[in-house]
Amino acid sequence: MAKKILVTGGTGYIGSHTVVELQSKGYEVVIVDDLSNSGIEVLDSITKITGIKPGFEKFNLADAEKTNDFFNKNQDIKAIIHFAASKAVGESVDIPLHYYRNNLVSVMNILDAQIKYNIPNLVFSSSCTVYGQPDVLPVTENTPRQDAESPYGNTKRVNEDIMSDTIKVNPQLNGIALRYFNPIGAHKSALIGELPLGVPQNLVPFITQSAARVRGELKVFGDDYDTPDGSAIRDYINVVDLAKAHVIAIDRLLRGKNKKNYEIFNLGTGNGYSVLQIVKGFEKATGVELDYKIVGRRAGDIEKIWADTTFANEELGWKAEIGLEETLLTAWNWEKNIREIK
Ligand code: UD1
């Protein structure tokens, strides 16, 4: 019998790609999502790709009663991947309580249910934002975390602590925190991808919308950083590669192959690219010329970060495989598909 995995936030960007990879490896998936930042039609897109419709329930996991009722009815769940969260950095500064409530209470409700219904395994979607601007690059999992720049970033850090503290005193539980670097791109079918509400804050969705003429020119935030071309550097990871790492993390927990009850892995490519390299890479991959100008730095941005992926490579046997240009092309194909551009 297929093992049942709960994917919270499974209609969202990384969640939907992970559902596809889980289903293709034979897992049964049930999604919980409140659709606050995604659409129900994503379920049809997933079904088109895999031929299997995932289970779905619409509610917010910060609601303790609904979360308890759900787990009470689904005690056969073997593991949880928890993506569901509010994720807009700027918005989190304006409405911190919403972010803390939504992102922290949901994890607490999930852990409560895991203990109550004996569901041992949790994979949590964390972020390289917990490292701030590190002194030494690339960052390993042992690089010290720093104070968060925003309530959003703080929720990732505190969520990690809630998870590890709870696991410490509940040794029947096992958790893996995955610290993502910058996920970009879309499924090669162009049926699922990133669909930000309003004006995209992240680089690649802004680029694709600008290229599609949905937005004006791209603003490159800063060319006076201490980097080879002066623009800021990130580690951009293909979302399908990222999704595959989640399946490996689930396999690891279900097979009891984890070395500790609480483990942390960086998920990046190990390569840093500057904003201007992304602009050039997009133009080269797609043949579309971008309209852009250099403006001042964006408040709260760090200068440079990229991952040391040795631990994930060696322990998970996972490595990002899809190259930058191919990834940027998938992002463009997705944008073209939703805008009906030929
Ligand atoms: C941001 C969040 C991070 C979160 C991640 C999720 C901040 C400070 N950090 O990371 O916490 O986990 O998104 O994906 O917001 N850029 C431009 N022009 C644009 C947009 C971005 O030049 O219109 C630049 C940024 O200055 C940055 C790079 O592109 O140097 C990447 O930006 P973005 O995609 O927003 O990701 P992060 O800021 O790295």
Cβ contact 81:123 at 8 Å = yes
Cβ contact 206:292 at 8 Å = no
CA separation for the pair 65, 73 (Å, rounded): 12
Residue 202 Cβ < 6 Å to ligand 1: yes
User: Could you tell which of 275, 282, 294, 302 is best to mutate to test the pocket of ligand 1, judged by most ligand atoms within 8 Å of the CB?
Assistant: 275
Residue 219 Cβ < 6 Å to ligand 1: yes
Across 265-289, average pLDDT: 98
User: Looking at residue 319, what is its pLDDT?
Assistant: 98
Q: Quickly state the pLDDT bin for 342 (edges 50, 70, 90).
A: confident
Catalytic residue positions, numbered? 152
Tell me how far the alpha carbon of residue 50 lies from the centroid of ligand 1, in angstroms: 31
Task: Kindly report the average pLDDT of the chain as a whole number.
Answer: 97
Nearest to 191, CA basis, from 10, 7, 341, 43: 43
Residues with Cβ within 8 Å of 116's Cβ and at least 6 positions away in sequence, in order, are 68, 71
Tell me how far the alpha carbon of residue 232 lies from the centroid of ligand 1, in angstroms: 9
- Write the CA distances from 14 to 175, 193, 213, 244, integer angstroms: 19, 8, 25, 11
Across 86-98, average pLDDT: 95
Tell me how far the alpha carbon of residue 201 lies from the centroid of ligand 1, in angstroms: 7
pLDDT tens sequence across 114-158: 999 999 999 999 999 999 999 999 999 999 999 998 999 999 999
CA separation for the pair 144, 128 (Å, rounded): 11
> How many Cβ atoms are within 10 Å of 56's Cβ, its own excluded?
17
Cβ contact 249:82 at 8 Å = no
- Ligand 1 atom nearest residue 129's Cα: 11
Q: Could you give phi then psi for residue 103, rounded to 5 degrees?
A: -85, -30
User: Looking at residue 193, what is its pLDDT?
Assistant: 98
